[in-house]
Structure 1
Amino acid sequence: MNAVVFAYHDVGVRCLKVLLARGVRVSLVVTHEDNPDENIWFGSVAALCSDNGIPFITPADPRTPQVLAQVQAAQPDFIFSFYYRHMLPVELLAVAKRGAYNMHGSLLPKYRGRVPINWAVLHGEIETGATLHEMTLKPDAGSIVAQTSVPILPEDTAYEVFGKVVVAAEQTLWNVLPAMLSDRTPQLPNDLSKGSYYGGRKPEDGRLDWRRTAREVHNLVRAVAPPYPGAFEEIAGDKITVTRTRLVPPFAHPALQKAHGMQDKFFEGGRLYARCGDGNFLQILGIRINDQDASLNNYLKYMAS
């Protein structure tokens, strides 16, 4: 079997390795040039292709006649998209003799669209996963081929969940690929009424609002913690990024309230706490000041601001 693969990021690296391990001939890979302004904390599909002698291209736009011609020349049985950042046009998808399939980082039909892992953590979900599905004109709307779930623990950051989803994507593709290669690709319903579509997120969306509930603030911190841009506030002209928090159990609240009244932020027993809009507390476990790691004690000079 012959495949053309559109791929980027860790999911792209691991799923491309699965295809090779299962004996699929990858005749062309389409990937991205790394953006020098982006924090590149993930694996390189281009490097993997170079190591394995796989032809690859890095067009700025996959919708050009030149890309279509190169894919047509490869005569693929399958087209796969593994965390490639652009939608593929239907005329390109139609080139694949046995279908075109995308690996999405959620349990479809939930969290269709952009940055699904970050949205799942932000909304306090207790599980997510990876879904292989057929590509259609609309994003993440085609029939489901297979999916694998992973848990989201109460203090997991989006980065930690992403690591689980990478493994889930690898397992999903590994398990279903023999059936696909035998022309027995599953087609399961993708009921769009049971999920929602989400757009991308900007760094500004991480601005902290301590008037929100403790759980909402905690979920925001987890959803955008490094290597993502982070949950931040600005105090005395400095950017303070909260990198990790923990929900304080209810039995601790009376003692904290008695000792510190209505203070918003305070130290108690060497630990830094913040009171949120619902009266509940978070323990602040890590901060950065102007994007540099800092001791929690450095927060003291800002608490009176």
Structure 2
Amino acid sequence: MKRAVVFAYHNVGVRCLKVLAARGIDVALVVTHQDNPAETIWFESVAALCEESGIPFITPADPSAPEVMAQVAAARPDFIFSFYYRHMLPVTLLEMAPRGAYNLHGSLLPKYRGRVPVNWAVLHGETETGATLHEMTAKPDAGAIIGQTMVPILPDDTAFEVFGKLTVAAEQTLWSALPGLIDGTAPRMPNELAKGSYFGGRKPEDGRIDWSQPAQAVYNLHRAVAPPYPGAWTVVNGRTVVIGRARLARGRFDAAPGLSLIDGQLYGVCGDGGALRISELLENGQALDAAQLAQLLAAA
């Protein structure tokens, strides 16, 4: 039986740990994160799965700390896997796995290397993305590709919905690749970085809406950061409000860019005359009712 040390977090971490077990991999140690109390935790817990399954796990702040390196070495892994773990792993750690170190990334590499690839893909209006299993190297998301699974991004999909598809795609990719990794026959396809792209992380403040942009661009921003992510937001009369739910509206509107009540319906009018038809607007996480919306816009 092959042994693995797994660095894992999030839904992808949970599902892929289950795939390893189903494929007969002995998970000797899991390294995961402590949940951040300032973050909205809408996903499954790797730590909880380990507790239920009796898998040893640790939650260090720094995966390159000497004590972590010592525990990984003591586990004598054949493989090292990273499933949505949020830190880069040092090369000295990767070299502890004689059968290789592999990461599952949420894009069709080499496109969207780096942070939060699902959100970036939705923001840029992509119509497909996927999950890629690849070798880990010193450079992020740059190693040879072992396998990929594509998923569609439908016109109204939010990043949350796409992430659900990618969780299944990650599971499928790992399931298909493991037999070849175990017996040494897995393909290694080139990861042609020059044909791809790299993006950094996003912060809540990056969700501020520029209503002078075209409606499709504003809609893509909403879809990319819609709850449970922090949301696309705007300021009205000194009050910060977040779009909870919206769709692209049909037709063109003569109102000035920004929020407007038109025939009793809330719209976000954009620079090209297009608009978002907003069915839920949030303030401090709570949906505003019709009277509150009228009051908010009357004071603007």
Structure 1 SS opposite 2:131:
strand
Q: How far apart are residue 295 of structure 1 and its match? A: 2.6
Is 1:80 the counterpart of 2:81? The answer is yes
- In the alignment, the residues of structure 2 paired with residue 145 and residue 263 of structure 1 have an alpha-carbon distance, to the nearest angstrom, of 47
Deviation at 1:117, TM superposition (A): 0.3
Whole-angstrom distance in 1 between the partners of 2:23 and 2:163: 24
Q: Work out whether 1:126 is the aligned partner of 2:120.
A: no
1: CA distance, partners of 2:260 / 2:86? 43
TM-score, length basis structure 2: 0.95
Give distance in 1, aligned partners of 2:97 and 2:187. 17
Letter of the 2:69 counterpart:
L
DSSP 3-state at the match of 2:63: coil
**1:6, CA displacement in angstroms?**
0.3
Contact 1:31 1:56 in 2 (8 A): yes
Is residue 299 of structure 1 aligned with residue 293 of structure 2? yes
Shift, 1:271, TM fit: 2.7
Equivalent positions of 1:142-153 (< 5 A) are 142-153=143-154
Match runs of 1:230-241 below 5 Å: 230-241=231-242
Q: 1:125 to 1:297 in 2, by over 3 A?
A: farther
Is residue 246–residue 283 contact of structure 1 (8 Å, CA) maintained in 2?
yes
Corresponding residue SS for 1:298: helix
Matches of 1:19 and 1:296, distance apart in 2: 50
- Letter of the 1:291 partner, please give it: G
Q: Which position in structure 2 is the counterpart of 1:157?
A: 158
1:79-118 equivalence runs, <5 A: 79-118=80-119
Verify the 8 A CA contact 2:84 2:104 in the aligned structure 1. Answer: yes
Q: What pairs up with 1:215-294 in 2 under 5 angstroms?
A: 215-249=216-250, 252-253=251-252, 256-257=253-254, 262=256, 264-294=258-288
Would the aligned equivalents of 1:272 and 1:296 in 2 still touch at CA under 8 Å?
no
Of 158-167 and 175-184, the range deviating more from structure 2? 175-184
Contact 2:212/2:257 (<8 A) preserved: no
Q: Is contact 2:9–2:32 with CA below 8 Å preserved after alignment?
A: yes
CA deviations over 1:146-179 (Å, ceiling 9, x no partner):
0101111111111111101101000100111111
- Deviates further, 91-100 or 283-292: 283-292
Gaps of 5+ in 1: none
Match in the other structure for 1:53: 54
Once the two structures are TM-superposed, the CA of residue 227 in structure 1 deviates from its matched residue by 0.8
SS of corresponding position for 1:129? strand
Q: In terms of mean alpha carbon deviation, does 277-286 or 107-116 score higher?
A: 277-286
**Cross-structure match for 1:167:** 168
TM-score normalised by L of structure 1 = 0.94
CA distance in 2 between counterparts of 1:238 and 1:262 reads 19
Tell me what 1:135 maps to. 136
* Helix, strand or coil at the partner of 2:55: coil
Percent identity over paired residues? 63
Change (3 A) 1:302 1:174: same
CA contact (8 A) 2:257 2:271 kept: no
Q: What letter corresponds to residue 265 of structure 2 in structure 1? A: R
Residue 281 (structure 1) shift? 2.0
Q: Would you say the 8 A contact 1:2–1:24 is kept in 2?
A: yes
Deviation, 1:262, is 5.0
**How far off is 1:241 after superposition?**
0.5
SS at match of 2:180: helix
Matches within 5 A, 1:186-201: 186-201=187-202
